[in-house]
Structure 1
Amino acid sequence: MVDNRSGAPTAARIGIETPPPGVAGITALIDAIPQPVWTARLDGSVDYVNPAWQSFTGVSGEAAQGHGWTVTVHPGDLQTIETALRAAAGTGEAFDIEYRMRRADGVYRWHLTRVGPFRAVDTRNLPAIAWVGTGFDIHDRRLAGEALRASEARYRDVVDHANDIVYTLRLDGTVEAVNPAIERMLGYRPDELVGRSIDPIIAPEDVARAHEMARQRGGDAGQRSYEIDLIAKDGRRVAVEINSRPVVSAGLPVLIHGIVRDISPRRERTQQADLMAAIGNALTSTYHLDVQLGRCADAIVTHLDAALARIWTLDPNDP
């Protein structure tokens, strides 16, 4: 039963012959709520919508009666609402549901509606005799959340397919996250390193320097780069350049983000250039040939590999 003047639910509708004191005040309060409010029977047929609901949808209280309210719900969401109401009818428990509600101008906006059971007496031991729903416009928040998730997905796709290693470390050097490039560069799967210290894959002579750089990263918000050697799973040394910066929360560093780039080819080119320059200097000097060859051998030892230096110093009489 609906009050003829306001459309508000009456005491008779819920089976109370004599309205208890305060019912009129509650009705006035519901009418004044700025969010859409409705009441419905257990089968989902509506018998009351407040003025805010009518104002938002442009549908009168009379037109919303029974299942008239369904015209305000996006066709793609109606089945979800009906299914939720049927399920809740069996339990009598409150529930939340999100759906698109049509505004008076025809635009659908996402709403979160909290639906609770109405009982003749305020006790959970009695079965519900009706539903009371209150809606909240969450359209902007939902779209912002969807945009954020889409942005995160795009970022994750870029990171997962990057040629460089992208990592996150805790301040104690534990690997928080690392992308698949770690396997292509060093042979380690990400799950082999996450949750473990980064130290074992750093060349021993570079561990102290890496720690010092991490402490510096944790102490300011700047970004710096440095070069160290990493040890691959197969024992290879890989020369890398690391660019890292701290993640700051409430003014304090909490994590370290970084990018690792393989600079082995660049380092090899530099070493070769230095070697050729040193050999060139040795060969153009005014010293005797044996001194020149000795200087060339020294250059090779310094810039390339000691074993290769033997080609300059072999005795022809050696077997």
Structure 2
Amino acid sequence: DTGRRSALESLRAARDALESRVRERTEKLASLNEWLQRQANLLEQSHDAICVREAPDGRIVYWNAAAEQLYGYSRAEAIGRDGCRLLQISPSLSMLDGLQRDRYWEGEVRCTARDGREILVESRQVLMTQPDGRWHVLETSRDITARKEAQERLRASEERFRSMFEQALDSVFVVDSAGLCQDANPATWRMLRLSRRQLVGRPIQELLAPEDRDRLAELQAALARGGTHRGEWVLLRGDGDRVPVELSASILAGGRWQAVARDIGERRRADQERARHLQEVELLNVRLARSLAETHHRVKNNLQVVAAIVETQQMMAREQVPSAALDRIKHHVLTLAALHDLLTHQAKGDREVEHVAVAAMMNRLGPIIRTAVARAEVTWHADDAFLPVREAGSFALLLNELISNAAKHGGRRIHAAFTLEPATAGSAVRRARLDVTDDGPGFPAGLAPEGLDTMGMDLIHSAATLDLHGTVAFQNRPKGGARVVVLFPLPEQPVPATG
């Protein structure tokens, strides 16, 4: 009995120990399963596409949700398929060598999604050995297509900027936050007669004339507040010569600022010469005043004769002279004839005709312009203002050219408006605005009209900038159609005659 009880106790002890080990292993297995489930959840929640392929046949055995979203194939469609064939991947030699040598490779892989899109991914691949001796490749991938395209656009943009920077006719230089010249284009080297090596790293203050150096702090403070600057400065060349410039500055990232400087020395000399010439012209006008009415009449007749000759030449020599070119010349001549006709009427009451009413001039030019663009409806409006005779001629040619261009390029409803803008604070000079709009197709995307080398564009720029001393802008209207805006300083207005 004693031996039997001892044996039973031994069996109970063995049973208890076995049950304890079973419970322990069961708990460990449950814990392991829980850990594996967490890992699986992490894989499914990953933003990176993750797949596992058998080696060496490449058969897919795992495919997470991010892979479904990236490549467009569901898990059921991908499992069991050859991953390289499915995604049209051609493994590179570096990929194969890396996996064989280091069991690891990373790089960029170009593949094709289910919808045919070509995708560039950043891939990391690890070669792993399973307990059963089989080899698997664990691959994580991230779509970098958009990033690469953005980088390429940035690179192309930087190249375009650098090309413009290098080829600009104006001086362009960049100053860092410490006030040192960081970069300068070839135009700056030539203007200041210094090499790039002599400019880069040089305090910008050393390039300023002594009387302008105190203004530098004000300029930098204005730029630091996010503003811009435009004004006239005097720079010093390497040989000590002074060069007056018109300088435009704007802030850049990191406290740097960029300036564009244009040599205005020649312009100042031209202005002085122009002033001297105008004084001479005024003296001559006194002598010519008595014959002004007769001259206007004679010029009008001569211009009409020229228009008739051009029209005859157009009919007789079509193969040698473009008809459109002769039309343009004819209508410009008729425009000048109409202006001189208006001057003739004014000269009957005032022998010294110096100014022309803009509204009267536009009303006189209306029938001629409408004849030239018969297929379009032309309307106009003009505020009360006067232009000197010289500017009036340029204005008339400019108006005719802008309306003709609008009609030529598809405008059916064209409106020309001459308005006066209020004087800005601190300035007594008012600006005049000529606004020509149409309902045509507008300017083509990517086309810069001001860069076209045509007779019409030369006339527009010459009249707007050289004769009227203004600016011209080419725009597309939000509701369709083109807009050309000419802004120029309004000359001093004549004093109204008092009875």
User: What is the deviation of 1:196?
Assistant: 2.3
SS in 1 for 2:202: coil
Report which stretch shifted further, 110-119 or 260-269: 110-119
TM normalised by structure 1 equals 0.63
The equivalent of 1:37 in structure 2 is: 50
The match for 1:233 among 238, 243, 263 is 238
Instruction: For CA contacts below 8 A with separation 6 or more, give which structure has more relative contact order.
Output: 1
Q: Deviations over 1:132-162 (max 9, x none)?
A: 2111122223222222222222122111111
Q: Quick one: distance in 1 between partners of 2:130 and 2:201?
A: 55
Uncovered stretches (5+) of structure 2, i.e. residues with no partner: 1-28, 283-499
User: Is it true that 1:169 corresponds to 2:175 in the alignment?
Assistant: yes
Q: Deviations over 1:177-232 (max 9, x none)?
A: 222221232222333322221122222232222343223322x2222212122222
User: Is it true that 1:99 corresponds to 2:109 in the alignment?
Assistant: yes
Report which stretch shifted further, 163-172 or 54-63: 54-63
Relative distance call for 1:188 and 1:54 in structure 2 (3 A) is same
The equivalent of 1:255 in structure 2 is: 256
The equivalent of 2:266 in structure 1 is: 265
Kept in 2: contact 1:206–1:228 (CA 8 A): yes
Kept in 1: contact 2:181–2:204 (CA 8 A): yes
Kept in 1: contact 2:52–2:63 (CA 8 A): no
SS in 1 for 2:213: helix
Within 5 Å, give how 1:1-319 maps onto structure 2: 21-22=32-33, 24-25=36-37, 26=39, 30=43, 33=46, 35-40=48-53, 45-52=58-65, 53=67, 56=71, 58=73, 60-64=78-82, 68-73=83-88, 78-80=90-92, 82-93=93-104, 95-116=105-126, 118=128, 130-218=136-224, 220-247=225-252, 254-273=255-274
Q: Deviations over 1:32-81 (max 9, x none)?
A: 656432234676845534154466253532222xxx5245145xxx354x
The one-letter code sitting in structure 1 at the alignment partner of 2:227 is: G
Q: Quick one: distance in 2 between partners of 1:240 and 1:97?
A: 52
Q: Quick one: distance in 1 between partners of 2:64 and 2:147?
A: 24
Kept in 1: contact 2:51–2:64 (CA 8 A): no
Kept in 1: contact 2:171–2:261 (CA 8 A): yes
SS in 1 for 2:109: strand
Relative distance call for 1:28 and 1:156 in structure 2 (3 A) is same
Kept in 1: contact 2:112–2:119 (CA 8 A): yes
Relative distance call for 1:34 and 1:247 in structure 2 (3 A) is closer
User: What is the deviation of 1:259?
Assistant: 0.9
The one-letter code sitting in structure 2 at the alignment partner of 1:50 is: W
Q: Quick one: distance in 2 between partners of 1:47 and 1:61?
A: 5
The one-letter code sitting in structure 1 at the alignment partner of 2:144 is: I
Aligned length: 243
SS in 2 for 1:149: helix
Which has more radius of gyration? 2
Identity percentage over the alignment? 24
The one-letter code sitting in structure 2 at the alignment partner of 1:270 is: D
User: What is the deviation of 1:103?
Assistant: 0.9
Kept in 2: contact 1:42–1:89 (CA 8 A): no
TM normalised by structure 2 equals 0.42
Q: Quick one: distance in 2 between partners of 1:143 and 1:226?
A: 40
SS in 2 for 1:21: helix
Relative distance call for 1:40 and 1:213 in structure 2 (3 A) is same
Q: Deviations over 1:85-128 (max 9, x none)?
A: 413532345x432222211111112212223454679xxxxxxx
SS in 2 for 1:188: coil
